[in-house]
């Protein structure tokens, strides 16, 4: 199993944790030099916090672990394409690379709806790669939403 796949599998475990808690199943893992710094699972519902997306949770925990909001030389693995809020936080935190699983046609800010990472004038560029374990990530989201849409 390749490195991106191994870390995405960890992010999927976080997404399953969110699913079990009744949250939209999105998970994230923040890595530096091949070591996991932090993880995050969606918790806007349970936390009564609209910003408690998996990416934000992982960024907050990573910043605490490093003692700095600048997360230079990190890679963020997330099961769903980041939204605009999360994309802005990722840029602000100076994450080097984002790897995501499923594309989000409605709110994705890494190319689906908008490519926030390519906006001119940003003071930091993030390398973005999507589609890692896409089928598994999308299936978990479908499993969560399908019964709610009936």
Q: Which two tokens stand for residue 90?
A: 């990722």
The active-site residue, picked from 20, 23, 35, 55, is 55
CA 87/CA 38 separation, integer angstroms = 18
Kind of pairing between the strands at 74-80 and 127-130:
unpaired
- Residue 55 appears among annotated catalytic residues: yes
Is residue 52 within 8 Å of residue 79, measured between CB atoms? no
CA 59/CA 104 separation, integer angstroms = 20
Residues known to be catalytic: 55
């Amino acid at each position: 199993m390749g490195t991106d796949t191994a870390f995405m599998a960890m992010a999927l475990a976080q997404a399953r944790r969110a699913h079990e808690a009744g949250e939209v199943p999105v998970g994230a893992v923040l890595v530096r030099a091949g070591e996991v710094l932090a993880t995050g699972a969606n918790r806007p519902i349970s936390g009564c916090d609209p910003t408690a997306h998996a990416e934000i949770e992982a960024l907050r925990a990573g910043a605490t672990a490093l003692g700095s909001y600048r997360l230079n030389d990190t890679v963020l693995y997330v099961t769903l394409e980041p939204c605009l809020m999360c994309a802005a936080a990722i840029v602000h935190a100076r994450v080097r690379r984002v790897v995501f699983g499923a594309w989000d046609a409605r709110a994705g800010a890494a190319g689906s709806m908008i490519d926030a990472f390519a906006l001119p004038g940003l003071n930091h560029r993030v390398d973005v790669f999507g589609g890692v374990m896409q089928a598994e990530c999308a299936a978990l989201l479908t499993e969560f939403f399908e019964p709610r849409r009936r």
